[in-house]
Amino acid sequence: MSQQAVYNDVFTVLSERHAVKQYQAGHQMPQADLEQLLLSTSQAPSAWNLQHWKLLVIEDQAQKEKLLPIAYGQKQIVESSVVIAVLGDLEANKNAPLVFGPGVEAGVLSKEIYDNLIGQIEGAYQNPQIARDEAIRNASLAAMQLMIAAKAMGYDTCPMGGFDKEKFVEAFNVPARYIPNMLITVGLAAQPARPSGRFPIDQITQKNTF
C-alpha cells in the first residue's frame, strides 16, 4: 500500500467515526480483535510517556447489566460487544522508574538525565491538581486512539460521560489511584449514527493570537 493510500485510509476513518448508540446485541468480539484494539490504544502518546491510563474491559454480560443503572439505563451498555472504562491514573509518577529505568540499564540514558526526569515528575506531582489534570488529559488521548482504532477495525463506538462515577467506583472496586474518565461502548452498529454537523474551520480557529 502506498503512503498516500495510508493517509487516505486514515482520513476516511476520521471522517466516518461517529457515536453509535444502537448495536447488534449478542455479538461477541473475538479475543484477537480485542487484543489488537487494546494494543493500539496503549500506543497513544502521554506526558513523559507515563501512560496515565487503566482500561477496565467489561465484556461479561452480567457485569454490563450491573453497569446499566449506573449509566442511567443507556441501552448501548448492554447491547454493545464490550464496554471499556477509561480510567485516569492519579499516581502515574509511580510509572516513571518502569518507563525510564530500562534506558539506564541499556546504557542509552544517563543516570544524570534519569535523575533529572524523575525530579521533574515528582516535583510536578506534588500538586494534586496537576496529577488530576494529567490523568484526565492523557487518558483522553488513549480514549480517542481507542475509538479511531475501533473504527479502522470495522467497529463503532460511543464515548459516554453520563454515568454515576461514585457508584461506578464502588460497584467495580476501582482503586483510589484511578479516576473514571469515560465509558466507551464498542460493537457492530445495528443502525448508523445520526448525522452530526461540525463548525466550519474559520469558526474554530484563530491564527497567531486573539
Instruction: Say what the pLDDT of residue 1 is.
Output: 54
Confidence (pLDDT) at 6: 62
For 6-11, which contacts have Cβ atoms below 8 Å and span 24 or more sequence positions? 9/152
pLDDT of residue 195: 79
Please give the full DSSP string across the chain, using - where no structure is assigned: --HHHHHHHHHHHHHH--B---B-TT----HHHHHHHHHHHHT---GGG---EEEEEE--HHHHHHHHHHTTT-THHHHSSEEEEEEEETTGGGGHHHHHHHHHHTTSS-HHHHHHHHHHHHHHTTSHHHHHHHHHHHHHHHHHHHHHHHHHTT-EEEEE--S-HHHHHHHTT--TTEEEEEEEEEE-BSSPPPP-----HHHH---S--
Ranges of each domain in the chain? 24-191
Give the pLDDT confidence score for residue 193 in this predicted structure.
Answer: 87
pLDDT at 182: 98
Enter the CATH code of domain 24-191. Answer: 3.40.109.10
Q: Give the residue among 114, 163, 159 at the shortest CA–CA distance from 140.
A: 159
pLDDT at 12: 92
Q: Name the residue among 137, 181, 139, 147 with its Cα closest to residue 161.
A: 181
Instruction: Note the pLDDT of residue 155.
Output: 96
Work out the number of other CB atoms within 10 angstroms of the CB of residue 57. Answer: 14
pLDDT average per 10 residues of sequence, the chain (210 residues): 69 94 96 97 98 98 98 98 98 98 96 97 98 98 97 96 98 98 97 88 95
